[in-house]
Structure 1
């Protein structure tokens, strides 16, 4: 038992530390349990064949198909348009729509879907997006409480009940709890978001009838102050060479964004300028005007070394007001891209991102924790939650939306972000999802829930709701799957060595004499505290058997205790790192850690107090 607890403590330490991926930590703990003889190899690997894990794989695929067909995006944007220009209506609708989608698909996917829509709607209503983005993340977690498949902890307590010999929960057993969570969230967040999430500088913007434009985005990242025009002269060393041959970024640490040259049109009455994205195979000609991004000193060196004509002489220190507002966005534009928590780009250098090679897109800047990184970008490693300012043709920027598992495009121009196209496969995806839910809800249909999910996932692929099998695999968050599969045997090890019994008896001996309500509160707030440092799924896996045993020890129903575990594990708002949705909106909303404490901690405490009082009414002792 001591060895098991040491392994658990070490796992918790590395989970909190965050320097090693959580799935790797869980696998290391699993291997140690085998090597120490606590679990047999069969017991240790049982998590990978557990119905919870298989069901989660299928649900990721089903959710991915719902996103890719445009079904969820169409429904959500149409409903949000009902809010018009009313800030309060928009706030309530965002909470309701997000929680409704979160009831059926992963909370991370829900936030990824809603982010660009909400940003667009907020700016259209002349409201700071930061007012809505944190509540958006919280609502996705609240909505997950409404159904059996809404969040992994719900599946965890279902598994604990079935293994304990109790009757399982139905698909909508969670719905009353989810509704209460959403109502509490709306009531508490309306004043808190108004007090703490609208920054002082942004309140002035709300009062002005202006929308965030592409120029605003450029000035936010200080692109205008560091953008220079350079002309190619007849005797320049650049003449006739491609950008790949010149290796300008490597030599001078500057970026050529685009090339403008006189049009080859034969129309004598109309002289126009062609706007061309700077690609590696672009060959430079006499008279080309290069738009170069970089420090003024580096631009000067570039022009002197290569006999180029410097057309702009403003320095980076020039005030924003004195910089001419002549940035023109035609076919080439800029957008903001937010990295997902499980993106393959995390810890990869900008030069190795593949944006230029795969999408013909340039990375111009990185926003991280309220700071803007604009120089020496090529060797800068990208972090989870980074916002990237990218440049490319609108067609290429639109292609970025195809990879929703890697990033979210949140800073497109309003007209582009508001566009919603309904794919012809959307009705098929909707039908498959509805049939899956029906099969899971009604007991007279002789199909096990896990089978219903797998069949639905297969149908999504076979009917073309996902382009191919590779796309289906990309929708799966493998880190979460491996984490759960590796942590499930940990609860078996705790039970097998008597550690669970010792912890639950300790809880009972300290709190049991005060009655089941106090014990329920102890389990709820213990889970809530742990979830601030460890993933909600891992916390639920560890505490579900302890809660079950504690309830049986005092002779009451385990249902309210297990619901306390799943609600507490899912309703963690006081930290940006407690859930992926919280981290996902941090950069987009320009939040600090203290913003989460100011808004999330009161909500988390109020939610806990209400749930401790309400759960015994819904599920009597």
Structure 2
């Protein structure tokens, strides 16, 4: 049996376990990585390489920075400010999605989610609303906002990199906004109407790692709620945001910035060491890290190419550009549900470029479809770090993502097939 087939079988097993939740999601992810090693698909270095991956390190640091907003009482003040203008759950949902999409257009989706998540949980707890009704819209908003600019998500950069290597005219910084803004508007409307009804309303969701947000917030006296510590918490966050926006000019990677910020918070005693450890959601960190060997295996064994070739083979080489656009979107969206959006974009971009040339279509139209599809990980908790980060605090199940995310995937497919050819004619 070829490594590619073995990889697909292990992926199928993981999907079944994720859907049925017979095992905790983090355990399922670790089991998948171990099976890949036992069957010889990946080596010993690869199996735990995800734990040193930049995204995992970024998540770790941002968990601490995000939690500091709560520990110092900043989240409470921000929450009070937002609830002053947003009185109902629907108004809160709108505010959260607008803020999340706006920030993620210039910051990483992961960073935006990590910073806003404790604030959203605090608002839900203090207002008596269900955090599960607010966290999934937050994750979706960060994905949508990431499609507005070139730096909004690494998937956009991966597509741009392939185009540069092949000497194809590249996208401008805000050119993604032509499709990103319409999708964001439709996404907000969807989550406030159809999506809102599909999101479960569950109790719980007041935990980030081992940090019980509601319990600490209910304490009348908290020595951490001092002006100095609040200033430090906000200062670290703002400086981290500035470094992330100007990453290329400053030259400090995002994951290094997040860890630097976390260390500064502990060194300055804005947070204690125990508080920092408590803020880490190990289930999320393990899930993201342990699924990375699967993404590596899909790419290196050719399993992902087998999926793409099989679907494209059914369509045929003489398919219309519109049909091809839809197919490319579907394949990319499928891949990004089981691997990172960066990996999915990097995998599909060369395929899309070849197909565009073969049918005489504008490469920009096809490549934009790949970029949009790579960000469409709404129907899976493992498709993107923000989806994974809200999994525990929102008390969601795998099926919750499918129920709410799949209808929006269909809507996004329709918009993509209609809007992309209008902006970038074939």
Q: TM-score, normalised by structure 1?
A: 0.51
CA distance in 1, matches of 2:322, 2:207: 37
- Is 1:403 the counterpart of 2:403? The answer is no
- Is 1:9 the counterpart of 2:12? The answer is yes
Q: Counterpart of 2:38?
A: 35
- In structure 1, which of residues 318, 338, 351 is the aligned counterpart of residue 204 of structure 2? 338
- Is 1:139 the counterpart of 2:138? The answer is yes
Q: Counterpart of 2:360?
A: none
CA distance in 1, matches of 2:41, 2:92: 54
CA distance in 2, matches of 1:464, 1:39: 42
- In structure 2, which of residues 346, 349, 356 is the aligned counterpart of residue 548 of structure 1? 349
Could you say which structure has the higher strand fraction? 1
Q: 8 Å contact 2:67–2:118 — kept in the other structure?
A: no
Q: Counterpart of 2:281?
A: 477
- In structure 1, which of residues 502, 513, 516 is the aligned counterpart of residue 306 of structure 2? 502
Q: Per-residue deviation at 1:11?
A: 1.7
Deviations along 1:193-236, whole A, 9 cap, x unmatched? 89899x9xxxxxxxxxxxxxxxxxxxxxxxxxxxxxxxxxxxxx
Q: 8 Å contact 1:505–1:550 — kept in the other structure?
A: no
Q: 8 Å contact 2:183–2:415 — kept in the other structure?
A: no
Deviations along 1:214-271, whole A, 9 cap, x unmatched? xxxxxxxxxxxxxxxxxxxxxxxxxxxxxxxxxxxxxxxxxxxxxxxxxxxxxxxxxx
Counterparts in 2 of 1:347-496, with a 5 A limit? 403-404=212-213, 408=214, 424-442=228-246, 443-468=248-273, 470-496=274-300
CA distance in 2, matches of 1:91, 1:163: 37
Q: Per-residue deviation at 1:569?
A: 0.5
CA distance in 2, matches of 1:171, 1:55: 24
Q: Per-residue deviation at 1:15?
A: 1.7
Q: Per-residue deviation at 1:484?
A: 2.4
Q: Which runs of 5+ in 1 are unaligned?
A: 124-128, 200-335, 345-401, 588-592
Q: Counterpart of 1:605?
A: 410
CA distance in 1, matches of 2:306, 2:198: 43
CA distance in 2, matches of 1:456, 1:171: 28
Q: Counterpart of 1:308?
A: none
Q: Counterpart of 2:53?
A: 50
Deviates more, 1:180-189 or 1:26-35: 180-189
Who wins on radius of gyration, i.e. which is larger? 1
Q: Per-residue deviation at 1:586?
A: 7.1
CA distance in 2, matches of 1:619, 1:456: 41
Other structure's SS at 2:377 match:
helix
Q: 8 Å contact 1:80–1:90 — kept in the other structure?
A: yes
Q: Per-residue deviation at 1:81?
A: 0.6
Q: Per-residue deviation at 1:145?
A: 4.0
Q: Per-residue deviation at 1:472?
A: 1.6
Counterparts in 2 of 1:192-207, with a 5 A limit? 192=194
Report 1 or 2 for greater relative contact order, CA contacts < 8 Å, sequence distance ≥ 6: 2
Q: Which runs of 5+ in 2 are unaligned?
A: 358-362, 382-386
Q: Counterpart of 1:254?
A: none
Identify if the C-alpha distance between structure 1 residues 594 and 174 changes in structure 2 by more than 3 Å, giving closer, same or farther.
same
Q: Per-residue deviation at 1:90?
A: 5.6
Q: Counterpart of 2:375?
A: 567
Q: 8 Å contact 1:62–1:457 — kept in the other structure?
A: yes
CA distance in 2, matches of 1:163, 1:619: 18
Q: Per-residue deviation at 1:603?
A: 4.4
Q: TM-score, normalised by structure 2?
A: 0.70
Counterparts in 2 of 1:299-318, with a 5 A limit? none
Q: Per-residue deviation at 1:441?
A: 2.3
